[in-house]
Structure 1
Amino acid sequence: KAVATTSWGIAASLGLADGENISFKTQLALVKSLTEHLHIPLSVDIESGYSNDPQQISQNVLALARLRVVGINIEDSDKDTNALRSIEQQCTIISEIKKVLNENGFGRLFINARTDTYFLSESPFQATLERAKA
């Protein structure tokens, strides 16, 4: 059992549109406030990770784990290009997140690797299957 945030809800609460229109620093402060007031586990929607750099994304997730977050939802789209990341790039990102979490004692953090194929692909069914297998 856990409470999950929604990126749209958090952005809207600040009068902004969804799509990483808040900084990760702002996201972290909001999550810190939630974890200080909730008495059940929290999972956080981190959109696309607030970066395209796997090391930076993994450090962002580590910062959330240190706030006692138990899960994340991460998209496979690039906010700069509004296109899907390559499968290889997304797998590298997820692998780097897992590596950093394991090295720091947070290996049990749940990663919901979301795909945005139905928003951004011309043949979403096949793309979804291919990404899920990867």
Structure 2
Amino acid sequence: MTILAETHHSRFERFRDLHNGFFVIPTVWDTLSAIASEDAGFEAIATSSAALGYANGILSSERIQFETVVQKIGEIVKAVQIPVSIDLEDGYPEVTGDIGDSIRRVIDVGVVAANIEDSPARHDVPLVAAEDHARAIARAREAADRAGRGFFINGRTDVFLLEDGLPHSRSVEEAIRRANLYIDAGADGIYVPGQGLSDEDVAQLAVGIRGPLTLLAPPQGTSFAQWREIGVARVSLGTLVIRNAFAAIQTQLAELRDGNVVTAFPAVDIDAVLRRTSPSQVAAE
């Protein structure tokens, strides 16, 4: 089963055009979190490999299996009417044989975008050489173009997560260098995750990178308004939503355990929510 080609291309165009302005993208891990995000008014959603892993009992330092990723993302895509992007890590080349095959697999289940990172599968080793990752981006671009449905590639550099001993100012320069190599190789945009970035850092990234910039949401309580003014295109919520959801479950269960009044939430008919998933969105190949 797959999303109809015309539906796929429409979702891709909507997703691409969001980068002409500023938007926040929540990261989901299952059908319900996807539907909740759509109901909240978000115009697109993404998966996080860490959030998917958490939902399946897998540590963020471990690698969720590619087949599990494809299965879960397929369920999510069919549950909503908005574009879905995937955290594809390094593209799982050791599983599929080549990153191009991974791209074709996720396009087949209706995904319209992917982050592809320059961290290796083992995060305790240095970043992949920028030139090598650029070649991987180029292969991903070729595969996406051959599919002919529209696909947004976000090249991701983890310079600020694995700085390799570089001074911070050099890390900004290296992030820009890598980002532009990835753009030249065929990436449509760039994701630079990292906490503690100053407004000056963000401004340098936004000006120096020749494509739409995605950043990881700052700590809770911080406004995105300044980033919008600086020129950031997209803010990813990372694992924020699943961590907050888990904290809410813990809080309510603790209240029940201690005999306190349960925190009141509006009643939700989950069966009715799930029935809204329309089988007309999909068609047999």
Other structure's SS at 2:109 match: coil
CA distance in 2, matches of 1:90, 1:55: 16
Give the TM-score, by structure 2 length: 0.44
Unmatched 5+ residue regions in structure 1?
Answer: none
State whether residues 54 and 96 of structure 1, in contact with CA within 8 Å, keep that contact through their aligned partners in structure 2. no
Match of 1:40 among 82, 89, 97: 82
Aligned residue type for 2:155: A
State whether residues 83 and 120 of structure 1, in contact with CA within 8 Å, keep that contact through their aligned partners in structure 2. yes
Q: After TM superposition, where is structure 1 displaced by more than 3 Å over at least 4 residues in a row?
A: 52-55
Give the TM-score, by structure 1 length: 0.89
1:131 counterpart residue number: 178
Provide closer, same or farther for how the CA distance between residues 52 and 113 of structure 1 changes in structure 2, counting only shifts above 3 A.
farther
1:68 counterpart residue number: 110
Superposed displacement of residue 101, structure 1: 1.2
State whether residues 90 and 121 of structure 2, in contact with CA within 8 Å, keep that contact through their aligned partners in structure 1. yes
Superposed displacement of residue 17, structure 1: 1.3
Superposed displacement of residue 61, structure 1: 1.2
State whether residues 52 and 78 of structure 1, in contact with CA within 8 Å, keep that contact through their aligned partners in structure 2. no
Other structure's SS at 1:120 match: coil
CA distance in 1, matches of 2:96, 2:138: 9
RMSD: 1.9
Superposed displacement of residue 53, structure 1: 8.8
2:128 counterpart residue number: 85
Superposed displacement of residue 130, structure 1: 1.3
CA distance in 2, matches of 1:52, 1:125: 30
Provide closer, same or farther for how the CA distance between residues 132 and 52 of structure 1 changes in structure 2, counting only shifts above 3 A.
farther
Aligned residue type for 2:151: L
2:57 counterpart residue number: 15
1:96 has 2:156 as partner: no
Superposed displacement of residue 7, structure 1: 1.2
Provide closer, same or farther for how the CA distance between residues 61 and 103 of structure 1 changes in structure 2, counting only shifts above 3 A.
same
Provide closer, same or farther for how the CA distance between residues 24 and 6 of structure 1 changes in structure 2, counting only shifts above 3 A.
same
Aligned residue type for 1:129: I
Provide closer, same or farther for how the CA distance between residues 66 and 19 of structure 1 changes in structure 2, counting only shifts above 3 A.
farther
Report percent identity of matched pairs: 28
Unmatched 5+ residue regions in structure 2?
Answer: 1-42, 182-285
* Stretch deviating more after TM superposition (93-102 or 44-53): 44-53
